[in-house]
Structure 1
């Protein structure tokens, strides 16, 4: 599946959030910081994901994939697969391991993924997918939109590797619109969980990842910008479904 291919250069760059210089000194250091942070926190990632979602994350991922139209006969790509939580949900729904590929820039996260399941795993970026045109029926990305460098290029690559009428599912956490909701999430994700992680694991890296995780949520571009970027990349039937206006499911179809 890995091959020479024609990557699409986006004409209008759209960054998911401002440079978070409280975590890295300069924008050019962002990608290295993010990859290193995930490498060092990989062994705690699944546990942290479960705590963030109060233990409902596994069922939610399966349900979201079903709502987006994933079926066992599809060839699927899990972008920013990490430790494989979304990939496992796809396998649970009947996707054959041979029809599922995961890609992620973090070797640490991929190592954790590889320990748990036997699917093809590739180190790489969503903005530069090392796959042929029209190679997949379904592309999914779970909670990693905030960690890419250019949404326009990411969505152009999604469009390139999908065959028509392929589908995209993008899962994200959206900043609450209400003051009360924002204050509660800022405390829970930005303060309480990092402190709990430091006390429970004694590992600073995992706590730092949670702090960074919240900062990217708080600073992320709004849903309207994400929907517009999908449309600009050539997708149709672009829509966002949400739970409590926080858990967002973006779905788009290649014409």
Structure 2
């Protein structure tokens, strides 16, 4: 891996390199922090190239399956690998890679793209604007996929369901010429990319200086992370009764975000 990390991405080797990375990351026990950085850099280069080039839909879908599969594999690496100061930037780069990947898929593909793995679920879809209000949900009996409910309320009362509801009030923010709206929903079951640095033993005040020192604390995420992206949309000032609503299982407190790509 270390010998190939500077390999230039081209249209000829794009698919091959992405498959190789998926295979390489399949044995997560062999990856150390340096390998993680190298793989992340290469994945970032791949999705950046895919976004900038006019590639065929078939190529983008093939590469996307490999890239998101590699990210899924990366999340099997020991949690301690993500807790060092240098790995914090790696985590941010992986999340940026996923964001760029969904944008590349929406740009190149006329069909829906879905991926379901052990650590994450991704749905990149085209939705007819007449389907709004729209709810995207996962969990319960459909634990391994993201499914969409048109013109229905949130299924948040169902056991184990995580969902996001997009109101009809979004539509005026979308170009009136767009009958089809590009929506991406990403559920991350592993919190590893959001872990802060663990406090070290030196953070505990000494017995002679307790009044002047405060022990360091760290925030640890222990819940699903749900993100929804609506491409080419600038959403502002939604009515209080038509807001974007995220719902998580009763026994979980989740993190959520919504991204607007204009």
Alignment TM class, shorter chain as reference: under 0.3
Q: What TM-score, normalized by structure 2, do the two folds share?
A: 0.24
Query: Structure 1 or 2: larger helix share?
Result: 1
Structure possessing the higher relative contact order (Cα contacts under 8 Å, 6 or more residues apart): 1
Rg larger in 1 or in 2? 2
